Chains A and B, each alone.
Chain A
Amino acid sequence: MAEDKFHAIIVGAGPAGSTAAYLLAREGLDVLLIEKGSAPGSKNMFGGRMYSHALHRIIPNFWEEAPVERPVTREIITFLNGGKSVSLNCQDVSWAKPPYHSFTLLRAEFDAWLASKAEEAGAILATNVRVDAPLKEKGKVVGIRAGEDEMLADVVIAADGVNSILAQQSGLSKGFTAGQVATGAKEVIELPAETIRQRFQVEGEQGAVQLFVGDCTRGLRGAGFLYTNKNSVSLGLVIGTAALAQCRVKMSEAVEEFKENPHVTPLIEGGQVAEYSAHLVPEAGLGMQPQLFGDGILVVGDAAGFSLNLGYIVRGMDFAIESGAAAAKAVWKAKVRKDFSRQGLSPYHAFLKESFVMRDLEAYRSAQHFMENERLFNEYPRLITELVSKLFRVDGTPPVHVLAKVMSEVKQQQVSMFQLARDSWKGAKSL
């Protein structure tokens, strides 16, 4: 390389950026990984869980060295309606064995570890640097500008998160609307490991994830979540940003109210709040996808809108890691051909299509539209909680068979049978 030029500058030392940096540095490229925080991870937060498959393919058995919290063996979905709740509780202890299905983790520690892997592989990590804009020459991205400093590279990878300044400033992204994102806020609440084990009925180091649907979001599109870490739980809410803006709900108050929910309080009682954080979640998938590559630039991770919310599965980190890997492959190919133009970087799209990133986003293309249905957060949680509570009730009144109970409850919740059947059909097809 020329003294003053890198092969690749990667902006953002999150999972997408660090994965790309790790793979490119390992191949011997000169890589600069830039992070605006004082350390990688210091600006990052998420709900709490990473599905293992993507990272395991890149760093086999990563869990032996990575700072993960608990392998998740228990999945709970809880419908909330005042004093009533109904939960679906699934346990699979095989998830506590390699290749561990998913892990809860905390981003400050985890992202710092992944960035350190990139450094070990030879990437240069620059922290405390805010990138202000891409550096352009004849319309082609040739580097970045950070304050007074300009740095040159054959290619720039925008791994700068959901609010990607680089994707917007390079003209690849037109930004997004409030309807395409959700606002998440969470509290990390410290609890002794033994308390977590007892309350969530998990063995040893195993963990649980609980999602809550219903009145915790005041009927707004969104959900509550709880992830068990080693010595804390991550508890919070994700609410569609457009809904949040219209309904004049204050997020921090909604989270505090969620903690007072009778179905949540017993889980966190005695805990100490250790941190409050917030973040935007890309929710529109392909609907908010920027152009993924341009002359001298690639977009990865949240910056590219790579995340998926199916209600019962929420994914982001595995997409980020896989897209970082696809970008690294594309850069390698471009380097061999000595062509970093839009055309030269276009294999990135093919690599994404071959991987689960585009395959899954395309397969669940209609999920986002389905999740906009307000009945999912109002009538249906009420219907299921009222119905199941009636199912268990014995009070001396004349017997009513299950079918009649269902019919009367559907009527009570003012849902038509036709609508319920249609929503069920749509849900089963799109989720």
Chain B
Amino acid sequence: MKRLSIEQLLGIDKFAVDGDEAHIVLDEAVCSRCSSKPCTFACPAGLYTLKVREIVFDYAGCLECGTCRVVCPKASVAMKWKYPRGGFGINFRYG
């Protein structure tokens, strides 16, 4: 079996992306001062990527597991974490 990239894996999933509201919002100032940035590898959907020193985050492919919130050393100030609004987000067909 050919190895699938995270983009390909997420491409198989069904999402109802909320175009009006991001359910996870980062405080760039706090994130840029973070030295370990564990979100950039712990997120199973690979949504936190590093560009130069800034974190680029895309909420659209979120699997809503909560790993980022628990690994973030400054979660209480660095991120506003909620589930997507009702009906939006990941839609598991198997689960």
A58 at the interface (CB under 8 A from B): no
Question: Shortest Cβ distance from B6 into chain A, in angstroms?
Answer: 4
Give the residues from 204 to 244 in chain A that come closer than 8 angstroms, CB to CB, to chain B: 232, 234, 241-242, 244
Query: Are A38 and B91 interface neighbours, CB within 8 A?
Result: yes
Question: Shortest Cβ distance from A40 into chain B, in angstroms?
Answer: 11
Interface bracket on B: 35 or more
A249 at the interface (CB under 8 A from B): yes
Main secondary structure of the interface of A (DSSP, over half): mixed
Chain B residues closer than 8 Å to A420, beta-carbon distance: none
Which of A163, A187, A260: most chain B Cβ within 10 A? A163
Stretch from B24-32, B42-50, B51-59 that touches the partner: B42-50
Give the residues from 288 to 329 in chain A that come closer than 8 angstroms, CB to CB, to chain B: none
A280 at the interface (CB under 8 A from B): yes
Query: Are B95 and A107 interface neighbours, CB within 8 A?
Result: yes
Number of A-B contacts defined by CB within 8 Å: 144
Cα separation A252 to B8 with both chains bound (whole Å): 11
Query: Are B65 and A38 interface neighbours, CB within 8 A?
Result: no
Q: Which residue of A lies closest to B61 (CB)?
A: A276
Chain A 90-118 interface 0/1 with B at a Cβ cutoff of 8 Å (1 = within) = 00000000000000001110010000000
Among B6, B85, B95, point to the contact of A252 (Cβ < 8 A). B6
Which of B13, B41, B89: most chain A Cβ within 10 A? B41
A2 at the interface (CB under 8 A from B): no
Contacts A241-B42, A252-B45 supplied; 14 other A-B pairs, CB < 8 Å: A38-B16, A38-B87, A42-B91, A108-B94, A130-B84, A146-B86, A163-B69, A178-B71, A185-B44, A249-B41, A268-B1, A271-B1, A273-B12, A277-B63
Name 18 A/B residue pairs within 8 A (Cβ), A-sorted.
A36-B87, A130-B84, A132-B82, A177-B70, A183-B67, A185-B44, A234-B94, A242-B71, A244-B67, A252-B6, A252-B44, A252-B45, A265-B1, A269-B1, A273-B9, A275-B94, A277-B90, A280-B65
The 3 closest A-B pairs by CB, nearest first: A107-B95, A128-B87, A278-B44
